[in-house]
Amino acid sequence: MEHPFQEAKPIIEKLHKHGFEAYFVGGAVRDYLIGRPIGDVDIATSAKPNEIQEIFSRTIDVGSEHGTIIVLLQGNPFEVTTFRTESDYKDFRRPSNVQFIRSLKEDLKRRDFTINAIAMDQHGNIKDYFNGKEHIKQKLIQTVGNADDRFREDALRMLRAVRFVSQLSFTLDPNTKEAIVKNNELLKNISVERKTIEFEKLLKGKSTNKAINLLVETKIYRHLPGLLNQKENLINLSKLSFKHLCHQEEYWTLLAYILQIKNVERFLREWRLPVKLIRNVQTAIKHLSVIRSNGWNEKILYELGLENAYKLERVRYAIQKGERHEELLKKMYEKLPIKSRKELCVNGNDLITMLNKKPGPWLSDTLSLLEDQILLGKLQNEKQKIKEWLFTCNQKLEENY
């Protein structure tokens, strides 16, 4: 058995000693059967939350009303959830009623897709009541039971289905796809934050192109922030290669650029993205058209820094193909006379003293002008040279301010 399961095995064994059933469940079991790297290991048990807390000395109550307790084992957290059924879903998102049960099969029955409704005991024996293993072999995403029911319970499952297509390179079951087309309007009830998490995972998958086409075919895209009128641009986006992209901001830069978003800040805020990410994407898009038309130059490389330049180069390559220019960028960057404003041999106070002027807007503009002159090789980064240049240009500076 894989190492992550071995770490959690003592929890299952201890639950058994106290007379309860316990199994590994969820994505870890699915990924183990597929042969993918295993993430968080979750456990389902017939023990109720209070019984779990009595059995284990170190626990965290993260949702006992829904049956979930974190068990800490040698400092590692493992989510242990009581077998349960759910009913009376509110707003197509959350169950209003949770009942704890003793049946593994009934617990697995409430899960979203057959490939996620497989359990495994501590010896590696599989419990598969809904053909999940067969669907893994067929590379098929199919709901457990009636698809309409599953999507009405939690409408986010429709976006999750497409996300799994992207991540696993699986195919959407025709009946499941039909149910998404029928029920996609329910996604308007889902919070933006939940949609963003699934959408980012979708963008980072191995079959992003296939998934983006599915967003269009199922009309899910109409219920994602800022995408309502983006059908044609999304189709164009689906033709690009995402496999070289690495970082979160690279995916959003490519998306905003290909969708021809005019107000990038507003678009990304609709997705509830962090301010720092939004600023980085805005900066990247500002330079992208210039780079595509005229190639890289020292000023853009200086403004971005080497790591951000690598990120933008990967986005450019996704659009233009041809050659990748990371080595060129590295050589260009090494030759830059300065790598940041901090490397200037003068600062704002020096300029104020040299020119005997009060602080004002001129100060930042003059420092920027200095940077440009040094980057272009027209001025050496030496204090005396800069002082001479300042006196030569002082009259122009006076005219401007």
Output Rg (C-alpha) for the chain, integer angstroms: 28
Residue 400 CB-density burial (10 A; 0-12 exposed, 13-18 middle, 19+ buried): exposed
CA–CA dist 239, 368 (Å, integer): 40
Angle at 140 (CA atoms; ends 135, 146), nearest 5 degrees = 85
Read off the pTM.
Answer: 0.89
How confident is the model over 286-307, as pLDDT tens digits? 999 999 999 999 999 999 999 9
Q: Please tell me the predicted confidence (pLDDT) of residue 318.
A: 95
Q: Parallel, antiparallel, or unpaired: how do β-strands 171-172 and 140-141 relate? A: parallel
CA–CA dist 84, 101 (Å, integer): 5
What structural domains does the chain harbor?
A: 1-138 (3.30.460.10), 142-239 (1.10.110.30), 246-255+265-336 (1.20.58.560), 342-400 (1.10.246.80)
Q: For the chain, 401 residues long, give each residue's pLDDT as a single digit of tens.
A: 668 899 999 999 999 999 999 999 999 999 999 999 998 899 999 999 999 999 999 999 998 888 999 999 988 999 999 999 876 666 566 666 788 999 999 999 999 999 999 999 999 999 999 999 999 999 999 999 999 999 999 999 999 999 999 999 999 999 999 999 999 999 999 999 999 999 999 999 999 999 999 999 999 999 999 999 999 999 999 999 999 999 999 999 999 999 999 999 999 999 999 999 999 999 999 999 999 999 999 999 999 999 999 999 999 999 987 788 899 999 999 999 999 999 999 999 998 998 888 898 888 888 999 999 999 899 999 999 998 888 877 655 555 55
Q: Return the H-helix or E-strand segment holding 127.
A: strand 126-128
How confident is the model over 334-379, as pLDDT tens digits? 999 999 999 999 999 998 998 888 898 888 888 999 999 999 899 9
Closest CA to 243 of 209, 271, 270, 217: 209
How confident is the model over 172-203, as pLDDT tens digits? 999 999 999 999 999 999 999 999 999 999 99
**Dihedral angle over CA of 197, 34, 29, 65, nearest 10:** 20
Amino acid at 79: E
Instruction: Centre a 10 Å sphere on the Cβ of residue 337 and count the other Cβ atoms it contains.
Output: 15
Q: Where are the alpha helices (DSSP H) in 18-155?
A: 27-34, 49-55, 104-109, 132-138, 147-153
Q: Which residues contact 353 (CB under 8 A, 6 or more apart)?
A: none
CA–CA dist 291, 312 (Å, integer): 9
Burial annotation 59-68 (CB, 10 A radius, 16+ → b, else e):
beeeeeeebb
